[in-house]
């Protein structure tokens, strides 16, 4: 300590001005075209309550480690005891265990992300280790007590222009409405996530449908009343500024369905009866089709996150709950049912703008090629192959996504990066993506694969980093 200020003594990081930029073309593209653009973060899991209240976090553990299943998985892999990850030990002890884990995360994206975040938010240009853990902890905590480092200030520091949360249809959106009435310059908008109404075989389905009925003030007793309740919630979300939906499913179900079988399936489940797998598949197909039509009618963008195999560790699910870091990549069959679902909507020109995210890298080309089947005249990039997601959200995965899109579609129309995060310190991931993107273009120019036309390629870079999303989502 010196004059009450902790001194962080460790080796400097590798996060310099030209981090990830391997030649002069990449350097110029990043610094002259990409670096200073605002951020449109159209998919994340940030709590709107903490934005509305402009929360001030007490310490770095609370804002950086709580709920971050990426870090939790790394700590478990390193053998850290669970009490220091999700247990009731002190926040300092948890941070010290994360700091001790950090040097062992070499070549994991956490090593880059974490040091980038420490530098951008706290001006700490040091490698985090167990030796400087307490000093870093105290330095960050002091910074977090400053007015400009409340939640809103952290978002403003990263030039966030639009932020879309992920919200259940039963949500009253109170905090979104509160934010809309404030003088906050950042647009904070909800996104509609109705998965719980789709998963009819889930043990909590009946309870959820009852909650949905209460939220819509409609007694749900059959297929017709369920649609009426969803319609009410869709209209309400739209009135609060929602322009996106989101689904996080293993795969799209798109079998042929009968309205009578769908209706009976709902009645049986609400009566506490079991239903056949065939009836469940018809119900899921019907509701996904109905929702797809509803999104198109309102001019929304639909997001489909497909391929996650969730909650694989029953013990941790029981002890900690969902989103504990026990999900993985699934190997589901995707192409045929996805194509059938999209075609059903497109055949009557009622397919909404769609962003499709893939979690299994074996399916990269499958997904990118499928989207190309449903482009529409007059809408640039209507069908989007979304940014590398979750386990693929790292240098290798992002580069593969960019290359796949380049080979099969048009990278120039891509709507770019998002955080998909639960942390207010995650926005340097946009910088990470922009640096990688500029480096890919820079290397192609150096190899003679692209012309040395930095003005034009710089425009394409700017479009991917910001302007395509601004036009595509139309948040005005």
Alpha helices in 102-145 (DSSP H): 109-122, 133-144
Alpha helices in 66-204 (DSSP H): 69-77, 91-101, 109-122, 133-144, 151-157, 174-180, 195-198
Mean pLDDT of 358-362: 97
For 187, the 3-state DSSP assignment is strand
Contact 168, 248 (CB under 8 A): no
Q: Measured in whole angstroms, how far is the alpha carbon of residue 413 from the centre of its chain?
A: 20
Q: Give the span between the Cα atoms of 93 and 113, in whole angstroms.
A: 21
Q: Give the span between the Cα atoms of 11 and 170, in whole angstroms.
A: 49
456 contacts: CB under 8 Å, gap ≥ 6: none
Q: Catalogue the E-assigned strands of 172-310.
A: 187-189, 244-249, 301-306, 308-309
- Residue 9 pLDDT exceeds 60: no
**Continuous segment of H or E residues that includes residue 385:** strand 383-385
- Residue 326 pLDDT exceeds 60: yes
Q: Which region holds residue 220: left if phi is over 0, alpha if psi is between -120 and 50, else beta?
A: beta
pLDDT tens, position by position, 59-85: 999 999 999 999 999 999 999 999 999
Q: Give the span between the Cα atoms of 72 and 326, in whole angstroms.
A: 10
Q: In what order do the strands lie in the sheet with 301-306?
A: 244-249, 301-306, 353-358, 383-385
pLDDT tens, position by position, 167-179: 999 999 999 999 9
Q: Which residues of 63-83 are buried (b: 16+ CB within 10 A; e: fewer)?
A: bbbebbbbbbbbbbeeebeee
Q: Give the span between the Cα atoms of 456 and 166, in whole angstroms.
A: 35
pLDDT tens, position by position, 86-141: 999 999 999 999 999 999 999 999 999 999 999 999 999 999 999 999 999 999 99
Joined together, the tokens standing for residue 376 give: 């529409």
pLDDT computed for residue 10 by the predictor: 59
- pTM for the model stands at 0.95
- Residue 203 pLDDT exceeds 60: yes
Sign of the C-alpha dihedral, residues 189, 311, 389, 391? positive
- Residue 342 pLDDT exceeds 60: yes
- Residue 3 pLDDT exceeds 70: no
pLDDT computed for residue 250 by the predictor: 97
The string of DSSP letters for 404-465 reads HHHHHS-GGG--------S-TT-THHHHHHHHHHHHHHHHHHHTTSS-S-HHHHHHHHHIII
Query: Average pLDDT of the chain?
Result: 96
Distances (CA, A) of 154 to 54, 121, 122, 419, 425: 10, 8, 10, 15, 8
Sign of the C-alpha dihedral, residues 273, 277, 278, 284? positive
In the block, which residue shows the tokens 């973060």?
41
Lowest mean pLDDT among 95-99, 124-128, 181-185, 322-326: 322-326
Joined together, the tokens standing for residue 65 give: 């480690």
The torsion angles phi and psi of 354, rounded to 5 degrees, stand at: -135, 135
- Residue 349 pLDDT exceeds 80: yes
The torsion angles phi and psi of 160, rounded to 5 degrees, stand at: -75, 125
DSSP class of residue 245 equals E
Joined together, the tokens standing for residue 70 give: 């990426």
Q: In what order do the strands lie in the sheet with 160-164?
A: 39-41, 160-164, 187-189
- Residue 26 pLDDT exceeds 80: yes
For 167, the 3-state DSSP assignment is strand
- Tell me the sheet residues that pair with 309: 328
* Confidence bin at 474 (pLDDT 50/70/90): confident
Mean pLDDT of 417-432: 97
Q: Are strands 328-329 and 244-249 parallel, antiparallel or unpaired?
A: unpaired
- Residue 376 pLDDT exceeds 90: no
Q: Give the span between the Cα atoms of 251 and 370, in whole angstroms.
A: 14
pLDDT computed for residue 332 by the predictor: 97
Residues 326, 330, 336, CA angle at the centre, nearest 5°? 155
Distances (CA, A) of 295 to 224, 230, 239, 252, 302: 18, 11, 14, 16, 7
Q: Give the span between the Cα atoms of 307 and 363, in whole angstroms.
A: 10
Q: Give the span between the Cα atoms of 456 and 470, in whole angstroms.
A: 19
- Residue 2 pLDDT exceeds 50: no
């Amino acid at each position: 300590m010196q004059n009450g200020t902790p001194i962080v003594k460790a080796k400097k990081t590798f996060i310099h001005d030209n981090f990830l930029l391997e030649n002069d073309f990449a350097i110029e593209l990043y610094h002259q075209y990409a670096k200073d653009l605002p951020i449109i973060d159209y998919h994340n899991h940030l709590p709107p309550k903490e934005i509305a209240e402009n929360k001030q976090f007490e310490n770095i553990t609370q804002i950086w480690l709580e709920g971050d299943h990426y870090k939790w998985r790394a700590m478990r892999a390193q053998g850290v005891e669970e009490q220091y990850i999700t247990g009731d030990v002190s926040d300092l002890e948890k941070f010290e265990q994360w700091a001790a884990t950090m040097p062992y995360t070499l070549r994991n994206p956490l090593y880059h992300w974490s040091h980038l975040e420490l530098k951008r938010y706290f001006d700490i240009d040091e490698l985090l280790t167990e030796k400087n853990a307490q000093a870093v902890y105290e330095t960050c905590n002091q910074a977090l007590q400053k007015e400009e480092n409340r939640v809103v200030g952290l978002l403003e520091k990263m030039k966030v222009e639009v932020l879309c949360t992920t919200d259940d249809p039963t949500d009253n959106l109170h905090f979104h409405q509160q934010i809309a009435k404030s003088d906050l310059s950042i647009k904070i908008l909800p996104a509609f996530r109705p998965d719980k109404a789709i998963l009819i075989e889930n043990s909590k389905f009946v309870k959820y449908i009852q909650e949905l009925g209460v939220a819509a003030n409609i007694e749900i007793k059959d297929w017709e009343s369920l649609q009426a309740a969803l319609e009410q919630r869709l209209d309400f979300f739209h009135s609060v500024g929602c322009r996106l939906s989101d689904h996080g499913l293993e795969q799209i179900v798109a079998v042929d369905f009968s309205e009578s079988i769908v209706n009976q399936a709902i009645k049986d489940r609400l009566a506490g009866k079991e239903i056949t797998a065939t009836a469940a598949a018809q119900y899921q197909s019907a509701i996904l089709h109905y929702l797809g039509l509803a999104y198109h009618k309102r001019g929304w963008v639909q997001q489909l996150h497909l391929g996650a195999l969730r909650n694989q560790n029953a013990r941790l699910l029981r002890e900690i709950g969902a989103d504990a870091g026990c999900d993985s990549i699934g190997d589901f069959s995707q192409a045929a049912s996805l194509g059938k679902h999209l075609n059903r909507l497109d055949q009557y020109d009622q397919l909404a703008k769609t962003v499709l995210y893939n979690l299994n890298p074996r399916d990269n080309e499958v997904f990118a090629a499928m989207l190309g089947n449903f482009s529409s005249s007059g809408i640039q990039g209507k069908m989007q192959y979304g940014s590398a997601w979750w386990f693929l959200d790292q240098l290798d995965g992002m580069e593969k996504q960019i290359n796949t899109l380049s080979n099969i579609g048009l990278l120039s129309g891509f709507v770019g990066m998002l955080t998909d995060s639960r942390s207010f310190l995650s926005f340097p991931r946009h910088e990470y993506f922009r640096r990688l993107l500029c480096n890919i273009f820079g290397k192609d120019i150096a190899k003679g694969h692209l012309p040395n036309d930095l003005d034009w390629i710089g425009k394409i870079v700017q479009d991917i980093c910001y302007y395509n999303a601004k036009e595509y989502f139309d948040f005005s």
